[in-house]
Amino acid sequence: MIMNAPTGPAWLTTWMAEQKIPLWGAADLRDLPAPCSRGGSAFPIAISWAIPLTPQIMASIQGGPNQAYADEYARVNRRINALSRALAAEIEKRGFQALALAASERTDTVNIRGDFPHKTAATRAGLGWVGRHCQLITRPFGSWVRLGTVFTDMVLPCGPAVERHFCGRCRRCVEACPAGALKGGAWHPGVDRDALLDARVCDQWKKAHYPQYHNGHNCGICSAVCPFGLKVLKRTPPPSSGRA
């Protein structure tokens, strides 16, 4: 089921449905420093989508990451990267340019950043807002998602963008962070990441305490305790044991 189905080319809506992508949209990036096309112009549009993580696995890491979470993280990243390449190819077959953004890749190791924030495209596409844990929160899946992004010059209806957060006074993620890396700030469009998160402290804690999980790139505690995710768990039936 497509939970965010914007008006656009019929082939794109069909493609998303065939790939079982439940939440997607298009983002207007024309006022942002987006990556450039082969012609040297910044891409004006991004297609953003969310792939849900298994709720039971996410709930299991409230005390720290485990191997099931590390495996789930890697599995969903692989799927997103494959989908991104496939979607970019479909767009280019129709005469437009496209560029896939890797699911989880640091291209700036000093500042601990990638080429472009997936969650910026996602908020611009209307998929959700950024919580105090500096992650995207969606209505249907909470923050228990991984994000995919493909840049394009194909004209698409965008947004509407999400312009505010809906975390209220909740600080569960801030209080649960073992590194003390979350600053408790409230997100709004254009806010600097540093107002929400000390990325260096977060990175150092993970490398020191969880090196066995993707060389210290996994934690997830702040997301695991988020009430919007825990609501998903309540309405998700447990996996079948296979017994009668």
In angstroms, the CA 70 to CA 68 distance is 6
The residues, ordered by sequence, that sit 6+ positions from 190 with a Cβ below 8 Å of its Cβ are none
What does the pLDDT read at residue 107? 73
What does the pLDDT read at residue 193? 94
**Per-residue pLDDT in tens (0 to 9) along the chain, 244 residues:** 345 555 679 999 999 999 999 999 999 999 999 999 999 999 999 999 999 999 999 999 999 999 999 999 999 999 999 999 999 999 999 999 999 999 987 777 777 778 899 999 999 999 999 999 999 999 999 999 999 999 999 999 999 999 999 999 999 999 999 999 999 999 999 999 999 999 999 999 999 999 999 989 999 999 999 999 999 988 887 766 444 3
What does the pLDDT read at residue 7? 62
What does the pLDDT read at residue 5? 53
What does the pLDDT read at residue 4? 54
Q: What are phi and psi of 77, to 5 degrees?
A: -60, -40
CB-based contact 22:1 (threshold 8 Å) = yes
Place of tokens 């082969």: 38
How large is the C-alpha radius of gyration of the chain?
A: 18
Strand, coil or helix: what is 26? strand
What does the pLDDT read at residue 115? 87
What does the pLDDT read at residue 174? 98
Consecutive H or E run containing 236: none
